Amino acid sequence: MNGATTALPRSANGGRAARRALVRWSVRLFRREWRQQLLVLSLLTLAVAATIVGIAIGANATTTVQAELGSASHLLTIDGHASKLSEDLDAARAAFGTIEVISHQDVVVPGSVAPLDLRDQDPHGAFKHATLRLVSGRYPTGPDEAAVTDGAATALDVQVGVAVRTGDRTRQVVGVVENPLNLSDEFVLVPTGQATPAAHVSVLAHITDEQLTSFHTIDGTGLSVQSGGDVTSSQAAAIMLAISTVGMLFIGLLAVSGFTVMAQRRLRALGMLESIGATDRHVRLVMLANGAVVGLVSAIAGAALGLTAWLGFAPHLERILRHRVEHVNRFDLPWWALVATMALAFLTAVVAAWWPARSVSRVPVVAALSGRPPDPQPAHRSAAVGALLAGGGYLLLFFWRSTAPMLVAGILATTIGMLFLAPVAIRALAAIGGRAPVSIRLALRDLVRYQARSGAALGAITLAIGIAATIAVADSSMQATADAAAPNGNLRDTELVVYLGRESTAPIPDASATALATAQASAQQIVTAVGAASAITLQAAINPDAATLPPLGNQPGGRMPASLAKVKSIGNGTSVQIVSAIYVATPELLASAGLTADGLDPAADIVSPRDLNGLQLELGRRDPTVPKVQVYDLAAYTSEPTTMISTASMQRLNLQPITAGWLIRSDSALTSAQISAARRIAADAGLTIETRTTTGPNGALGTDSTTIGALIALAVLAMTVGLIRSETAGDLRTLTAAGASTRTRRWLVGATAGALGLLGAVLGILGAHLAVLAWNHGRLGSLAHTPIANLLMLIVGLPLVAMTAGWVLAGRQPPTIARAALT
């Protein structure tokens, strides 16, 4: 037989023939063992799908600026009361060429403090046509017609075919419209030229910055400008880039984890291959080919799944994005980005296979043939590299996050650094567990013994938890920021204020005892309607010497409450601009702000969380009073009214209390139905209500991300723990032979899963906080609102679930282990 092959041609490294043989074997192995790779395949497919859905959402998530500007480049808002408004508009036409003018009027909503926007937008306007859509009925054409949005219809309690009183005129509702780019934009639409007198005028134009700079209103005042500038788009691009980078990193870590498992499973076969003359390069090729096959299958399956999910899920996303998705065209996606994602996923899988391939090719042949994993590397080396990378990456994120290459480099360096730090964490935990019971001690030491795969798995778990925790922490931080920044009384989404007057700083009607009792009964009805427990009475301070104001338009007459104002001298007179209302510091209002009457400075006029510099007490007297302010620390999440006038000050200033309204607090966020019910009750009783006017993050995002992150981490744990425990089957047999019970086996598996889960949660949460801190340029305040429940779910719930699952599933010893020989 030797003679048959004596003259066979040979090349030094085997050449194409060798590569073909190895790729063939690798593909054959994949086909035979695809079930063993199902978990990593599924996770990679899901990661690709999630990235593609993320990109699709990002591409369709129009900004509020787009919702305002449509296809124009700039929006100029001119004060409607400007004396030379028509001249200003003529000048704008002359300077900019084509412009679109939309006039806005504020329409009183019965029972509500917040007015509605009445606008005379042309449905076929030059720029803003994308921001108007007819839902049903038709557009208004005559002066006595109007169309309304859903929210406006609810607020005004009208429908198509019903007449509605808007401003000084009654109009017939002929259609329902919406702003498809911002479904929160509630308004009443009237034909062009019918919103007069205008409170303000929007002028849309597609112009250059130079054209804008050269434009001024006739009197030089009352102009504000908004542009679809590059800042917003570059921020969106940076976020998209960050999502893609983290997504790909996660795919990479998952793949490294999965391929490390696969390399260990194939260690003997690869040893066999080496024993018949395969070089290190040949061994690496087998693993890389496997990575390529897995990457290709995942990329194709993930893209198909992602696109299907996007198409099916897009309509539901409208609720989250608050704009119509179909309006943007679901197929109008950045296809290059999707193809790039697939290519990157493929490349990532190949690159991820390289590291385990390199490791396994370095295992001595004899060790590989016996299936022995390589000895763990000293942890301090990887720790030094990890600390260097993580530290460097963090600095990049901290200082240069707005530069795309630096952002990517920062995320990459930080994440890879964490991967290198994983072995140290594993060893530290093993050292801590040195005195634990034998099953837990053994589990922790096995994590160290098999740190190549436990380290990669820990990296993937940490990243999954890190992403989830980052979203939860950022969401909580944004929610708190939104709470603090919410306009019109700074109310939380759980609060509602009922006013006897039009609003907080408007005149308060001189109500008789009977009228007041009726109003109080209505307030109590509202308390019941919103499911609140009780209401706090708000008392304003009035100057008894001041005259009662007569009714003005829709505004009832009454006594002006004491308020805080900015007072300026203009010529011989003064200009008083009321800034905010103040209420009497009653014991219950003080308690709601976390204060007591005993804690008040007797000399102070006002207690407030702000120093109120430049503000004066407006009491309807000739000379405004400069108050002495006692500043106090506001407890977290406490909202307005927080500025109060002390009773001692009222005596000094000769003021009298008068009931102004009621503050109602519910345990949960008020729904639109509850708000509508409250508004109807208020309108019927001649009262008005105020609720939060903006919709910020509501915490659902943080909870969803926490759940998804925990599930992904559990999947990675299942993949890793199963392998580590199957490779220590010999230990299990030895333990069994030494008299260990099923319970010991259960604890061994449970402790392995729990320990990895705990480490991943700790590192992930730590990383999340650092990421949020870096993103906010080190502002510690951004971490002030920790989502305790979400983080507890990750740091306690995840390890417990992992441990319990491991404990339960380890009950039955697999036959392959039972039959294995003792070593």
Partner 1 sequence: MSMLEMRQVTKRYGHGPTEVNALRGVDLCVDPGELVAVMGPSGSGKSSLLTIAGSLEAPTSGEVFVGGADLLAMSRNETARLRRRSIGYVFQDFNLLAGLTAAENVALPLELDGTSVKVARRAAMLALGELGLDDKASRFPDQLSGGERQRVAVARAVVGDRRLLLADEPSGALDSENGEAVMRLVRAACSRGVAGVVVTHDAQLASWADRVIFLRDGRVADSTAAVPGPESLLTGGRPS
Neighbours of 459 (CB within 10 A): 28
Closest contact distance (angstroms) between CB of 326 and partner 1 is 49
Amino acid at 383: A
- Lookup result for tokens 């066979």: 8
Closest contact distance (angstroms) between CB of 367 and partner 1 is 9
**Nearest residue (CB) to partner 1, 366 versus 388:** 366
Closest contact distance (angstroms) between CB of 264 and partner 1 is 16
Closest contact distance (angstroms) between CB of 32 and partner 1 is 6
Closest contact distance (angstroms) between CB of 809 and partner 1 is 27
Residue 717: half-sphere exposure toward Cβ, Cα within 13 Å? 33
**Nearest residue (CB) to partner 1, 12 versus 738:** 12
DSSP 12: T
Closest contact distance (angstroms) between CB of 19 and partner 1 is 9
**Nearest residue (CB) to partner 1, 19 versus 680:** 19
DSSP 734: H
Closest contact distance (angstroms) between CB of 8 and partner 1 is 5
Closest contact distance (angstroms) between CB of 709 and partner 1 is 36
**Nearest residue (CB) to partner 1, 9 versus 161:** 9
**Nearest residue (CB) to partner 1, 28 versus 568:** 28
**Nearest residue (CB) to partner 1, 16 versus 812:** 16
Size of the site for partner 1 (CB under 8 A): 39
Please give the Cα distance from 746 to 813 (Å, whole number): 10
**Nearest residue (CB) to partner 1, 3 versus 544:** 3
Quickly list DSSP for 327-361: TT-TT---HHHHHHHHHHHHHHHHHHHHHHHHHHH
Amino acid at 751: A
**Nearest residue (CB) to partner 1, 11 versus 823:** 11
Considering Cα of 34, then 37, then 39, then 44, what sign does the dihedral take?
Answer: negative
Choice from 2, 329, 613, 651 touching partner 1 (CB under 8 A):
2
Report the site for partner 1 in 617-676 (rule: CB under 8 A): none
Please give the Cα distance from 794 to 810 (Å, whole number): 23
For 197, counting Cβ atoms within 10 Å of its Cβ (0-12 exposed, 13-18 middle, 19+ buried), the class is exposed
Pick the piece of the chain touching partner 1 (CB under 8 A) from 5-13, 153-161, 200-208, 600-608.
5-13
Characterize the bridge pairing of strands 629-631 and 606-608: parallel
Report the site for partner 1 in 333-392 (rule: CB under 8 A): 364-366, 369
Strand ranges for 397-522 from DSSP E: 495-499
Report the site for partner 1 in 274-313 (rule: CB under 8 A): 274-282
Q: Which pair of structure tokens corresponds to residue 236?
A: 């969106």
Please give the Cα distance from 548 to 558 (Å, whole number): 5
Closest CA to 432 of 44, 759, 59, 103: 759
**Nearest residue (CB) to partner 1, 30 versus 215:** 30
Closest contact distance (angstroms) between CB of 371 and partner 1 is 11
- Does 820 help bind partner 1 (rule: CB under 8 A)? no
Residue 71: half-sphere exposure toward Cβ, Cα within 13 Å? 10
Closest contact distance (angstroms) between CB of 5 and partner 1 is 4
- The values of phi and psi at residue 194, to 5°, are -100, -5
Report the site for partner 1 in 540-599 (rule: CB under 8 A): none
Report the site for partner 1 in 260-279 (rule: CB under 8 A): 268-269, 272-279
**Nearest residue (CB) to partner 1, 266 versus 324:** 266
Please give the Cα distance from 645 to 619 (Å, whole number): 12
Report the site for partner 1 in 499-528 (rule: CB under 8 A): none
Instruction: Spell 341-380 as b/e; 16+ CB within 10 A means b.
Output: bbebbbbbbbbbbebbbebbbebeeeebbeeebeebeebe
Closest contact distance (angstroms) between CB of 61 and partner 1 is 47
Pick the piece of the chain touching partner 1 (CB under 8 A) from 9-17, 41-49, 543-551, 613-621.
9-17
Closest contact distance (angstroms) between CB of 274 and partner 1 is 7
Give CA angle at 304 (303, 305), nearest 5°. Answer: 90
Please give the Cα distance from 99 to 127 (Å, whole number): 8
Pick the piece of the chain touching partner 1 (CB under 8 A) from 7-15, 96-104, 711-719, 795-803.
7-15
Quickly list DSSP for 741-801: -HHHHHHHHHHHHHHHHHHHHHHHHHHHHHHHHHHTTT-GGGGSS--HHHHHIIIIIHHHH
Closest CA to 283 of 183, 345, 354: 354
- Lookup result for tokens 């960050």: 242
Q: Which x/- pattern over 10-49 shows residues binding partner 1 (rule: CB under 8 A)? A: xxxxxx-xx-xxx--x--xx--x-----------------
Pick the piece of the chain touching partner 1 (CB under 8 A) from 3-11, 542-550, 652-660, 762-770.
3-11
Report the site for partner 1 in 39-98 (rule: CB under 8 A): none
Closest contact distance (angstroms) between CB of 331 and partner 1 is 41
**Nearest residue (CB) to partner 1, 14 versus 302:** 14
C-alpha distances out from residue 168 to 105, 164, 171, Å: 11, 11, 10
Closest contact distance (angstroms) between CB of 361 and partner 1 is 9
> Which residues form the interface with partner 1 (CB under 8 A)?
1-2, 4-6, 8-15, 17-18, 20-22, 25, 28-29, 32, 268-269, 272-282, 364-366, 369
